[in-house]
Structure 1
Amino acid sequence: MQDSGFFSLFGLGENSLRLGVFLGVFAIMALAEWALPKRERSMPQGRRWLTNWGIVILDSLITRLVMPILPIGVAIHATNQGWGLLNWIALPNWLSLLIAFLILDFAIWLQHLLSHRIPIFWKLHKVHHVDRDIDVSTALRFHPLEILLSLIYKIIWVLVFGAPAVAVFLFEVVLNGAALFNHANVRLSPGVDRFLRLIVVTPDMHRVHHSNRPRETHSNFGFNLSIWDRMFRTYVAQPQDGHEAMTIGLDPYQDEKPSQFIWSLLLPFLKR
């Protein structure tokens, strides 16, 4: 399938498709949080959302200025040049797409684990973790430098494995939607949660990752598929204190500062 033909099927460009899906999933999860909330909020929602939306808008502006060529564009170029493992092996299109999707999902899991294990990356990633509530807006909250490093990281994987542009596009859309879903403060029945987390990361599974307890903070690194945490033994099923009573965020920052826009951007450069 030609990449340009894929996007033209919808009569829209890549950016319009991604933005439309993103806003649609955000709206659905925000409504679900209103209808079926899992936890009481500890901070005013308006100020947090203003900060979290401000961060993602800044991320988008900086990304466009600093890195005009994004992973999908790199994937198209790699395919045209015959670069990468999947461009050297004759495989059916559907199998190349599936393999590329799984490789990229593992790559993001590994990146997330490394962002916890390597101190300089943890300084940036803390901006995401200091949010004292976890809801759909938390999925937007990543420091601009972390976003830029993430793009470079993904581009390297795309080049090495020759991921088709369609696979990269589908992965990016699914990843964004999955992050909005699993950060949502929404209540799922235990049976639905148990079934879904056999395949994907659910809100209850990812909420454990935002606990203030270090063992729980440094677990459940998946954003989309749940298999990697089970495979590499970084899976924690439930928080020790229960979902309603657990403390969200990091212990040194249990105050109003995480809801401040400028403070959040400066956090990686501040002494504790």
Structure 2
Amino acid sequence: MRFIYAPLFFFVFICVAVIIVTMSGGFVWLLPLLLVAIGISAFCEWRWPYRDRWNRDHGDRLRDVLHASVNESLNVLSIAAIPLIAPWLPDLGIWPTHWPLGLQLLLAIPIADLGITLVHYASHRSALLWRLHAVHHSVARMYGFNGLMKHPLHQLLEALGGTLPLLLCGMPQDVTALLAFSIAIQLLLQHSNVDMRLGVLRHVFAWAPLHRLHHLKYGHHGDVNFALFFAFWDRLLGTALYLPDYELADDDLGIGDQPDYPSGYAAQLRQPFSATQASHPPAVLPAGLRDALADYAER
């Protein structure tokens, strides 16, 4: 199960979504399908956990529910507003609307992935963008549901980076809805607490064993594995990292120089605009991680 969980979860849910939208001509059933995916994700994390402690409520579950509810509601509203926005956008008219929905989605995902990955990369280079993105990095544990935890303004920036070029090409509303659903499924897998094994798929998909390293709290050691869907973007950026022999400790995640980052929902919405951004000396790199990084550098 540890080897088949990620590809099974990814392909089954996205294929079912394509079938539903193709047969119904609408995307209203994608939200209930996402709730089913969240439930299955939680069950599998309980059954095959990477870290038992990450399954326990750290006083953050309600906050994560609020983040996910607000962000997914904004996604739905944005998709619903596409017919109203489209007349105001230049339409290059080059989108292959005559293709089956599945093929249109296959075209949209890597293009959106590149845009989102570049916004994500920039968010670790720009102090202004980092203020917004730090909300997501404040998590002290990883489980599928907190993949949906982001500051809404940063989610907007990533959405614009990923979808605006596609909308300008004429991508229709139903494909946009499928793309948003696919991104949510991928975020559940990226942040999953399932003890999954990727094998050769680690060269293709940026799932949890890669993305957990991105959430390391030890300064710039977490500036790796930025890609949303596909791991090859990080190889092109020179930011790929894979440490199969290092098991993350319960407390390896977070923002090492801001251990007191606000944990409440309202406080996290305000924090990027706070004049005071208290910082502390960076967290000390554990010896096991230091050795694993040295071995990786020697390969």
For 1:113-140, what per-residue CA distance to the aligned partner results, in whole angstroms no more than 9, with x for missing partners?
1222222111011000011111112212
- Residue 163 in structure 1 maps to residue 171 in structure 2: yes
> Following superposition, which runs of at least 4 residues in structure 1 exceed 6 angstroms of deviation?
none
Equivalent position of 2:57 in the other structure: 45
* Letter of the 1:205 counterpart: L
For 1:109 and 1:266, the matched residues in 2 are separated by: 25
CA distance in 2, matches of 1:91, 1:43: 43
Deviation for aligned residue 1:213:
2.1
Relative to structure 1, the CA distance from residue 9 to residue 167 in structure 2 (aligned partners, 3 Å threshold; closer, same or farther) is closer
Distance 1:166 1:40, change over 3 A: same
In the alignment, what sits opposite 2:133? 125
| CA drift at 1:144 | 1.9
Q: Identity rate of aligned residues, in percent?
A: 25
- Say which of 202, 209, 221 aligns to 1:204: 209
Distance of 2:110 and 2:32 partners within structure 1: 24
Gaps of 5+ in 1: none
The match for 1:22 is 34
Structure number with higher relative contact order (C-alpha < 8 Å, ≥ 6 residues apart): 1
| Residue in 2 that maps onto 1:70 | 79
Unaligned runs of 5+ in 2: 1-17, 279-299
Please give the per-residue CA displacement for 1:36-81, whole angstroms capped at 9, x wherever unaligned. 11124379516211111112223355x38xx954388269947xx9
Structure 1 equivalent of residue 192 of structure 2? 184
User: Are 1:55 and 1:140, in contact at CA under 8 Å, matched by a contact in 2?
Assistant: yes
Q: TM-score, normalised by structure 2?
A: 0.73
C-alpha separation in 2, matches of 1:233 and 1:75: 40
Distance 1:41 1:253, change over 3 A: farther
1:58 aligns with 2:70: yes
What one-letter code is carried by the residue in structure 2 that aligns with 1:260? G
Describe the superposition over 1:218-269 as per-residue Cα deviations: whole angstroms up to 9, x where unpaired. Answer: 11111222221122221111289632366100113335x5432232222212
Contact 2:136 2:150 in 1 (8 A): yes
When the two chains are superposed, the root-mean-square deviation of aligned CA atoms in Å is: 3.3
Kindly state the Cα deviation for residue 83 of structure 1 after the two structures are TM-superposed.
1.5
Partner of 1:254: 259
Q: Which amino acid in the other structure matches residue 83 of structure 1?
A: D
Q: Which moved more, 1:150-159 or 1:126-135?
A: 150-159
Tell me the amino acid that sits aligned with residue 262 of structure 1.
A
State the alpha-carbon separation in 1 of the partners of residues 62 and 25 from structure 2.
29
Give distance in 2, aligned partners of 1:110 and 1:38: 29
How far 1:151 moved relative to its partner?
Answer: 3.6
